[in-house]
Homo-oligomer: A and B are copies of this chain.
């Protein structure tokens, strides 16, 4: 699959954008007109730079408001087009995007539109230019891709074809199966964009909220499957207008974009494979269009695949680091974790509780960054084959993390997540043990009080620039499934909370997009992250922890009064909850009990007990947690 990206997706100047696209590995780019108009580079400079960078210049765009106009406007539009065709010749470009008219169309007549598009195609032919006509979702008269394609067929000119943009098609919920019947020679270009399903006007949605494939909710693999079945072999190019990407580091965003296409290519191949049956037997799937297309031609677009991985079987470990580890050791001990000794060559400790393992990394204070406070540093996931999973992640352009190891020590495959958390791929064993633990202490995991304890979930704070990137990263590299996000109130603003999990819930990862930090005054806050452990008997765990002196997050009495009003709990049970600072939630599937520790540095811990099939995270209790933590931090800093 030939990969492309429109320069409008990225921040920076045209030069910076082109360089970033080349570094990220794109085959070609679309030149967004404004990026050229505002650039000090001449068209000849751009042409040479693209050649030097190994980028093809695939599409000049957009040319707006051409068709369905009066004669005088048509003349002006043809003059304007002529200037752009001459410019394209200097750029060495041969395809231009013409959008259906939004602003100046006054005549709703397909015959007239075809006549005007024919005139444009004729002029384009004189310049060796191909016109890719696209139906904008909010086009005044033409807003349906099939309508645009009918016009192309009416004109039937070698220099006029259609441009299919997934956003304009899927935002309107148009059926994509008819694409398969399109003559591939008339599909001049394919643009892809994903988007979250938002209920707002389609223009604003398109201009601000598009995301890269895999970061939204559109059925892009299916769309691409139809495009491939039609016989299209040209570039598949990203056109994503996104307020955040436009503000983010250009090279990072380009890599995120490339990752999305690599993933989409794989997903498209999978969709084609899964839907091959409907082609061969001519069933009614996809309205039979697939069958017709299959009868007509083969699929010449080559779709690369990636090393395949199943979703991870569980957390292997979580790692926290600190210059001074005393506070971490204390709180883990109070929670019931056992110290399993130090590593034989590294400055790390192993603490376990059942199958929950926490590594404490005794980080030397770096030069100039003072004494690093405790923070979550790394997560280990159990996968079938760390080598294959790592190969997959690397093909998805995940940055590899070097992990020092000595002879005879287990080598972890690791890479960096978008928020810099290190992700390690580990070989899980059927009995839930981990071979590497032999490198610690006496070489045996010490049994602890709660043998069935596991890491229930980990909650990581994401910088606002990298939230969508993180969703795609965990989706594509680690096969986690994103759930619809929730928003939780906190004293510093709303917190967007995105759950990523495996189908069996063995891995639950929560990505929190914290509010922008307050810049006023001195109340600069660091967002806190946490690791949650699941046990069978939370009340007993909490009692034991209290006996060991644990500093619980103190839950306000008002909370328990409200809990009682909402659920009408047994008075003894309510008293137990309040006595132990436990939080409670209930839904149709079951019950959830949990408590939090006080925060150490930027990390705190949670203990949970899931009763029945409760599948949530106690979201109604999150505002309480945020408020108490805020209050505590505020008292510390005032």
Contact = CB atoms under 8 A, between A and B. Distances in A.
Interface of A: 11-13, 16, 33-34, 36-43, 76, 79-80, 83-84, 87, 198-201, 204, 208, 243, 246-249, 252, 463-465, 489, 491-494, 515-516, 518-521, 554, 556-559, 561-562, 564-566, 568, 623-624, 626-628, 630-631, 634
A65 to B, nearest CB: 11
A80 B559 CA distance: 14
Contacts of A557: 42
Given A83-B564, A199-B200, A42 B493 contact: no
Given A42-B558, A200-B201, A566-B80, A516 B518 contact: no
A7 B360 CA distance: 41
A565 B33 CA distance: 12
A12 B525 CA distance: 12
A493 B246 contact: yes
B204 A80 contact: no
A564 B561 CA distance: 72
Contacts of A39: 556, 558, 627
26 contacts: A11-B493, A13-B627, A13-B630, A13-B631, A16-B491, A37-B556, A37-B558, A37-B624, A38-B623, A38-B624, A38-B628, A39-B556, A39-B558, A39-B627, A40-B556, A40-B631, A41-B558, A76-B568, A83-B565, A199-B201, A208-B494, A243-B493, A246-B494, A246-B515, A247-B518, A249-B518
Contact of A204 (B12, B199, B493): B199
A201 to B, nearest CB: 4
A11 B491 contact: yes
Contacts of A76: 568
Nearest to A32: B489
Contacts of A84: 565
Contacts of A628: 38, 40
Contacts of A36: 558
A521 B249 contact: yes
B13 A634 contact: yes
B37 A520 contact: no
A464 to B, nearest CB: 8
A33 B562 contact: yes
A422 B118 CA distance: 60
Contacts of A492: 11, 246-247
Contacts of A43: 558
A41 B464 CA distance: 33
A518 B42 contact: no
Contacts of A624: 37-38
Query: Residue among A12, A204, A208, A249 with the most chain B CB within 10 A?
Result: A12
Nearest to A199: B201
B38 A559 contact: yes
Nearest to A80: B565
A108 to B, nearest CB: 23
Contacts of A198: 200, 204
Contacts of A630: 12-13
Contacts of A247: 492-493, 515-516, 518
Given A12-B491, A199-B204, A248-B520, 5 more contacts: A37-B556, A37-B558, A37-B623, A39-B627, A83-B565
B556 A519 contact: no
Nearest to A14: B627
A58 to B, nearest CB: 19
A473 to B, nearest CB: 16
Contact of A252 (B13, B38, B243, B520): B520
Query: Residue among A16, A33, A42, A631 with the most chain B CB within 10 A?
Result: A631
B13 A465 contact: no
Given A198-B200, A199-B200, A247-B515, A40 B554 contact: yes
A44 B42 CA distance: 73
A197 to B, nearest CB: 11
Nearest to A557: B42
Contacts of A634: 13, 16
Contacts of A554: 40
Q: Which 6 A-B pairs have the closest CB atoms?
A: A38-B627, A200-B200, A83-B565, A247-B493, A199-B201, A249-B520
Query: Residue among A34, A87, A520 with the most chain B CB within 10 A?
Result: A520
Contact of A561 (B87, B246, B562): B87
A43 B565 CA distance: 15
Contacts of A518: 11, 247-249, 465
A154 to B, nearest CB: 28
Contacts of A248: 518, 520
A515 B249 CA distance: 13
A34 B519 contact: no
A80 B41 CA distance: 69
